[in-house]
Amino acid sequence: MSPRKSAAEAVATRARILDRTLALAVATGLEGVTIGVLADGLGMSKAGVIGPFGTKEELHLAAVDEAVARFQEAVLAPLAGADPGAGRLVRAHDAWFASMTADGHAGCLLTAVAAEFDARPGPVRDRVREALARWDTFVLGELDAALAAGELPPGTDPAQLLFELRGVALAADQGVQLWHDPQAPARARRAVRRLLTAP
């Protein structure tokens, strides 16, 4: 076997493990994704599963990083070139809510992991906080642009509006995961439009 083929196979194996980890984590929580469960589901040995990562925690961190990359691809990448402001923020939320039910997913992994680890200090919580903080920075920038363009009422408090938008996203995720409400993404989209439309 050539080194190039061996490296390609290692990358493919790592991707298979992460795909399975993300699929299981949305349903069972990240902590519930054990090496044994992954090995059984993938038809691999436990050593084969843990090998590309080293430890279970590193596997979980890699899963968070992969979830972030997929979020950026699904939600942020399509916005390239669009004018900042309320319209772009609406589109971002629309894409986020759509991703919660796309390709058989049942919710947002980042939101779920944030809830799972919110009272558990450590590298996984830190990694999720960093990702969500970057989202918050993006949202605040869009809100500032919307205010400057007159798309929001004068005196709008961006920090308060960010808080309310977070609440809509959490409600959407819970609607999808806990209540299995097929209308949850549509309800969330309507709520975001009410928040981001000047009277």
pLDDT score of 192? 98
Which two structure tokens, joined as six digits, stand for 63? 């899963």
Q: What is the pLDDT of residues 71-93, one digit of tens each?
A: 999 999 999 999 999 999 999 99
The parts of the chain modelled with pLDDT lower than 70 are: 1-5, 104-105, 198-199
Do the beta carbons of residue 143 and residue 162 sit within 8 Å? yes
| CA atoms within 13 A of residue 122's CA, in its CB half-sphere | 13
Nearest Cα to Cα of residue 19 among 41, 36, 51: 41
Do the beta carbons of residue 42 and residue 49 sit within 8 Å? yes
Do the beta carbons of residue 188 and residue 100 sit within 8 Å? no
Task: Report the predicted TM-score, pTM, of the whole model to 2 decimal places.
Answer: 0.92
Query: What is the residue type of 175?
Result: G
Which two structure tokens, joined as six digits, stand for 157? 């408090």
pLDDT score of 105? 63
166 vs 124: CA distance, rounded Å: 20
pLDDT score of 169? 97
45 vs 49: CA distance, rounded Å: 6
The structural domains of the chain, ordered by start, are 3-196 (1.10.357.10)
